[in-house]
Amino acid sequence: MRPDAGPLRLDASAPDFARDFAALVDARRESDADVSRDVAAILARVRAEGDAALHALTLKFDGHDLDTTGWEVPRAERRAALDGLSAELRTALELAADRIRAYHLKQKPADSDNVDAAGVRLGARWRGVDAAGVYVPGGRAAYPSSVLMNAIPARVAGVDRLTMVTPTPRGETNPLVLAAAEIAGVDEVWRVGGAHAVAALAYGTARIGAVDVVTGPGNAWVAEAKRQLYGVVGIDMVAGPSEIVVVADRDNDPEWIAADLLSQAEHDPTSQSILFTDDAPFADAVAAAVTRQLASLATGATATESWLANGAIVLVPSLDAALPLVDRLAPEHLELAVADPEPLFARVRHAGSVFLGRHTPEAVGDYVAGPNHVLPTGRRARFSSGLSVLDFMKRTSFLACDPAALQRIGPAAVALADAEGLPAHARSVALRLS
């Protein structure tokens, strides 16, 4: 914790700013704990022993006997969880699901099929994968919104079989998670979690059918299991601690901006909230509002730890000058809290999701706006994207030549194959040319 009990304060006009900002960009908040050997052992054990391994590891890690509690959550229990929701929560979940579905439907890629000038037919065909598995953490991070954000894109993609795995410590299920699974149309819910659950999804066991893609958040063991199984199955990007960058001028209400910063800080002590502003008194007002709000926040302990360890307030000569700095952070979430965000937004290169204007708090995107809340963290927005329908689909390219078309393009293939020292390649074309 910093001695003055405030977050890092940087001023872009200070002489050491370049060095200090570079340190902020390079600061690692992800766990360096090396669980790779333990995870490798678990994966090998599940692969070899199947359900027996799942049974033993669930007893060990989650403290319940699957044969007693049941392996799968019965449909009736999921239905009952949905029926047991308050009207307000049920309406909220269904609004969220409808909006997430509508947004993701627009992501479905179009197939192509054309004949070009040479007479060659060329195309691409997209299909959903046969089966997908969604990992849903237990405990503090068991979020129904996360169930919707992972399961709905899979359903929109056309996945045939959609499986969910979730740890149920001491056998206790989370009714909100079950209700969300029911709304999202999950086919199966298994009461297993951890690296062993990911292994079961990837390899399949006698009970749990193998899937083609595994997505969803998890602890370091789950993340490492996904990383090691990448290639056996498809996975979403490994996720790190969440982040928000807010670019705000002084015409904002400091209380609103403070709440936005805390909405990431409350996730985890490793989360990061950063404010860029061009107004020093506004920066002070936000800092004071954060301190005030922390005092009354049920998640205050976590949020305080995050804010003091990883939070930052960066004073810039103009909001325009913030943009190249924001790009270096490539944040998961970026709020542009100004009256006209368009000119700033046009210059943003790297961000997972951008929230435009004063009335678009990041949290609205976590739940009901429609875009996915599974977004690249840890500067990965430089090269990766939020979860989408594409993560549950694959593309098959295709082509067709008739004799005339092959006559036009085939000789070049023969020349290149010969040059590469691949005579059978050349022959397979040449035989059809003569």
For residues 133-192, which are near its own copies according to CB under 8 A? 140, 143-145, 176
Does residue number 369 form part of the binding site for its own copies (CB under 8 A)? yes
Among 47, 121, 161, 207, binds its own copies (CB under 8 A): 121
* Identified binder of its own copies from the candidate list 234, 236, 278, 314, rule CB under 8 A: 234
Among 41, 44, 105, 412, binds its own copies (CB under 8 A): 412
Q: For residue 78, how many C-alpha atoms fall within 13 Å in the half-sphere facing its CB?
A: 20
Are 46 and 199 within 8 A, CB to CB? yes
Of 242-261, binders to its own copies (CB under 8 A) are: 253, 255-256, 259-260
By the rule CB under 8 A, 421 interacts with its own copies: yes
Under rule CB under 8 A, residue 405 binds its own copies: yes
Instruction: Give me the least distance between CB of 86 and its own copies, in Å please.
Output: 9
Interacting residues of 186 by C-beta distance below 8 A, sequence separation 6+: 78, 134, 147, 151, 162, 163, 164
| 322: contact with its own copies by CB under 8 A | no
Name the phi and psi angles at 246, rounded to 5: -115, 125
Is 298 an interacting residue with respect to its own copies (CB under 8 A)?
A: yes
Query: What does the block give as tokens for 374?
Result: 């599974």
Instruction: Classify strands 121-128 and 393-400 as parallel, antiparallel or unpaired.
Output: antiparallel
Query: How many Cα atoms are found within 13 Å in the side-chain-facing hemisphere of 267?
Result: 19
Spot the catalytic one: 64, 333, 362, 373: 333
Is 384 among the residues that bind its own copies (CB under 8 A)? yes
Say whether residue 37 binds its own copies (CB under 8 A). Answer: no
Sign for the CA dihedral angle at 373, 375, 377, 381 comes to: negative
**Is 373 labelled a binding residue?**
no
Handedness of CA 96, 271, 246, 304 (dihedral sign): positive
For residue 17, the tally of other CB atoms under 10 A from its CB is: 16
> Taking contact as CB under 8 A, which single stretch among the options 120-128, 164-172, 181-189, 192-200 is the one that binds its own copies?
120-128
Verify whether residue 332 is a known catalytic residue.
yes
For the record, the structure tokens of 289 come out as: 């509002």
Assess whether 243 carries a catalytic annotation: no
Residue ranges for the binding site?
242, 264, 267, 333, 366, 420, 425
